[in-house]
A = this chain, B = another copy of it.
Amino acid sequence: MMTEIETSSRSTTPLQGHLARVSEMLARHRLVEKLAHDEAHQHQDVVDSLVHRQNLAELQREIDKLHPADVAHILDALPPEDRLSVWHLVKADRDGEILLEVSDSVRESLLADMDAPEILAAAEQLDADELADLAEDLPDDVVHELMQRLDAPEREQLRSAMSYEEDQVGAIMDFEMITIREDVTLEVVLRYLRFMKEIPEQTDKLFVVNSENVLTGVLPLKWLLVNDPARMVSEVMAVDANTFHPDEDVVETAQAFERYDLISAPVVDVDGRLIGRLTIEAMVDVIREESDAETLSRGGLREDEDIFASVWKSLRNRWTWLAINLVTAFIASRVIGLFEGSIEKLVALAALMPIVAGIGGNSGNQTITMIVRALALGQVSPSSAKRLLRKEVGVAVLNGLIWGGVIGLVAWLLYGSAALGAVMTAAMTLNLLLAALMGVLIPMTLIRFDRDPAMGASVMITALTDSGGFFIFLGLATLFLI
């Protein structure tokens, strides 16, 4: 086993290397623990506990060397017992940073293992905007205690950040920004920065504000660097920055960051007063989370699942979707039930009907994927909806005639009935038409009622093309064949 790990760690990325090394140490640690337990009666406890402690010390050194994000990654990838062993080795002053980096479900499990003083110690290392991210997972009394310990402006920041919805700019802005006045020279700004000794991460521009804290412009660091230090900030700064408001939608804001290649941007209130800052780092998280949420909901999962979650937790995460699917499958089953008489007379119908339903679902999902994407990118206007519908109907009719024709021919050859083949082709075409219509109308309707079309659209279309496909095929067959 040792050899295997060593081979694999050589051929993989550094990150997987870290994980392999930590896993190996944990395995050794468990072995020693087991030996200690087995040989306890031989009074070798002292020696064993020494070996044990040596092992843990080595593991701790390994962990101390790692970037907080890498420790978080290892915690995410370890089974619960090992996860806690490693977590206990993390230096208290790094707890906060690492808690911010682990996945939601793992954060819950780590916080559950910590007592109030430990959580408070971890929280002390964090800024107000970072605390806001943690706060919802913390017990109320800890949050209260935390509030007490902050100074007034920080408390105000934390309260403000917590007052916004998760999908609003206000919830993800930070407060680490450098503000300057416009009536000074660049030389003064340069001296001020040297005096500050530190510039926050992801700072590519300084914010210029007046005495009322109203944002009057931004000064990119690169302009500060290439311009003559004798010039005034007001001459060099740009006035029309990309500014955002705290109640804006984070997904649209992230799209703006992507479009205009921003690194940071100011957040202002209705009066134009500077209240915070957005960074590309937070935006990348938004983009990643958006894509994750879509993947999860498309796969029928309610939320992110700790891969080592208990069976019970997994069940709860998956039940909603299974239950919905059970209902739609049951409806489809009852549609078939309507035609049991026909199936009894012509049993080939039972074998052929899933093809009609399946291809309809597939084609409907193709249409809906394209439309949902175009809607998310803001590419569909009411005037283009009609045009889209016409195109999708064209695609559906052609697909129906071609693929339906092929499968109709196969059905004719298999069951020796040209009429059965013709019904098959007609049913396929009609169900593809239904899929196209619904594939356009469902997302358009969801968005009209301000619902997210990515959620649930796929389930709905599949339910419709299943029940609809069975009904169309068995109905046509009953009319023309029975």
Contact = CB atoms under 8 A, between A and B. Distances in A.
Given A284-B280, A379-B76, A362 B325 contact: yes
Interface in A259-285: 259-261, 263, 280-281, 283-285
Nearest to A307: B374
A476 interface: no
Nearest to A332: B354
A365 B300 contact: yes
A327 B227 CA distance: 66
Report the contact-size class of chain A (Cβ under 8 Å from the partner).
35 or more
A378 B79 CA distance: 14
A88 B434 CA distance: 39
Given A291-B291, A299-B368, A395-B314, A329 B359 contact: yes
A371 B221 CA distance: 44
B287 A23 contact: no
A330 interface: yes
A326 B407 contact: yes
A228 interface: yes
Nearest to A474: B350
Given A13-B378, A225-B225, 4 more contacts: A73-B378, A190-B225, A340-B350, A354-B357
A139 interface: no
A311 to B, nearest CB: 4
A366 B300 contact: yes
Q: Is the interface of A mostly helix, strand, loop or mixed?
A: helix
A391 B308 contact: yes
Give the copy number.
2
A352 interface: yes
A329 B354 contact: yes
A325 B226 contact: no
Given A315-B395, A395-B315, A343 B333 contact: no
Contact of A399 (B196, B322, B353, B403): B322
A199 B221 CA distance: 10
Contacts of A470: 354
Nearest to A311: B394
A108 interface: no
Contact of A295 (B227, B258, B280, B373): B373
A116 to B, nearest CB: 30
Q: Which interface residue of A202, A295, A332, A399 has the most chain B CB atoms within 10 A?
A: A295
Contacts of A226: 193-194, 196-199
B336 A369 contact: no
A298 to B, nearest CB: 6
Interface in A349-408: 349-355, 357-359, 362-363, 365-366, 368-371, 373-374, 377-384, 387-388, 391, 394-395, 398-399, 403, 406-407
B359 A337 contact: no
Which 7 pairs from chain A and chain B are nearest by CB? Answer: A299-B369, A291-B291, A350-B350, A199-B222, A77-B379, A69-B259, A336-B351
A126 interface: no
Interface stretch (A14-22, A31-39, A41-49, A208-216): A14-22
